[in-house]
Amino acid sequence: MEIIIQASAEAASVVGARIVAKCVREKPGAVIGLATGGTPVALYRELVRMHREEGLDFSGVKTFNLDEYVGLGPAHPASYRHFMEEHLFAHVNVRRENIHIPDGLAADVPASCASYEEAIRAAGGIDVQLLGIGGDGHIGFNEPSSSLVSRTRIKTLTAQTRRDNARFFEAAEDVPFHVVTMGVGTIMEARQVLLLAFGAGKARAVREAVEGPLSAMVPASVLQMHGSAKVLLDEAAAAELSRSEYYRWVYDHKPVWQRF
Ligand code: GLP
């Protein structure tokens, strides 16, 4: 794992956007895995700026979102489809047919999950997967106790995640109980993973994921087994790490060719 601590969430988001942009520029037809929630908003803002001001071209890019609420259609303001339109898709030249988000309205959920996995395979696999982290250490919507080799499937949210995400809904009871999410195994097959975490509320989950034992009780800890995972943090999210001085040292002494 490469731990990158920046002075602010804004600065860390710019580093994340540069890494995604590098992949988009270098690989025609790059496949990007996308995340939702408050955390990636600034990264998407920077990608939109790069598209407008620097001509970053999304015309060949394929996207796969991590997850979606069961029962919410694209028109629902709290659906992840709606979120992605608002923060990224409406502002860049990604082709509609290249956008993939799990179907929250699928009549046959297992079949829909299997075809999502098949679509990822058919696209050649995910080149860069963006991730946030839940306060309980979840990635995507893989809650604690999720199988570490799981694939795209339906999951039941914890009470804490329903409370955490209530801010995106009109009323707390409107938060669905069920979601469809890429599995931990699906996420682990991405060639590169970028996990972003900002704010003091994420400090414990970050410590457990980065420095704790690998455990299904902290699904993000599985990234310790990924060959190319970067964790982008602001100071507050990094506050509980015991080796933060070393992580900063590594970043400050990166060989020039490895810099972003
Ligand atoms: C949701 C999403 C996750 C996200 C997490 C953290 O549960 N399914 O992908 O990482 O929330 O959200 P936020 O970035 O708003 O803290």
232 phi, psi to nearest 5 deg: -105, 120
Question: How many angstroms does the Cα of residue 38 sit away from the middle of ligand 1?
Answer: 7
pTM (2 decimals)?
0.96
- Give yes or no for residue 68 CB within 6 A of ligand 1: no
Secondary-structure percent of the chain, ordered helix, strand, coil, rounded to 5: 45, 20, 40
Is 37's C-beta closer than 6 angstroms to any atom of ligand 1?
Answer: yes
Q: Which CATH class is domain 2-253?
A: alpha beta
Supply the pLDDT for residue 257: 86
* Arithmetic mean of pLDDT over the chain: 97
Q: Which atom of ligand 1 approaches the CA of 157 most closely?
A: 7
Q: Where are the domains of the chain?
A: 2-253
Q: How far is the CA of 49 from the centre of ligand 1 (A)?
A: 23
Residues (pLDDT < 70) of the chain are: none
Active site residues: 67, 136, 138, 143
pLDDT at site 258: 85
Show Cβ contacts of residue 224 under 8 Å, excluding neighbours closer than 6 positions: 1, 210, 214
Structure tokens at 164: 């955490």
Nearest CA to ligand 1 atom 11: 37
For residue 258, the one-letter residue type is: Q
Instruction: Give, in degrees to the nearest 5, the angle at Cα 140 between 221 and 118.
Output: 110
181 close to ligand 1 (CB < 6 Angstrom): no
Q: Give pLDDT tens digits for 37-49.
A: 999 999 999 999 9
The pLDDT assigned to 39 comes to: 98
* Ligand 1 touching residue 133 (CB < 6 A): yes
**Dist. CA 59 → ligand 1 center (Å):** 27
**Residue in the structure block whose two tokens are 């039941």:** 156
Distance 255 CA to ligand 1 centre (A): 33
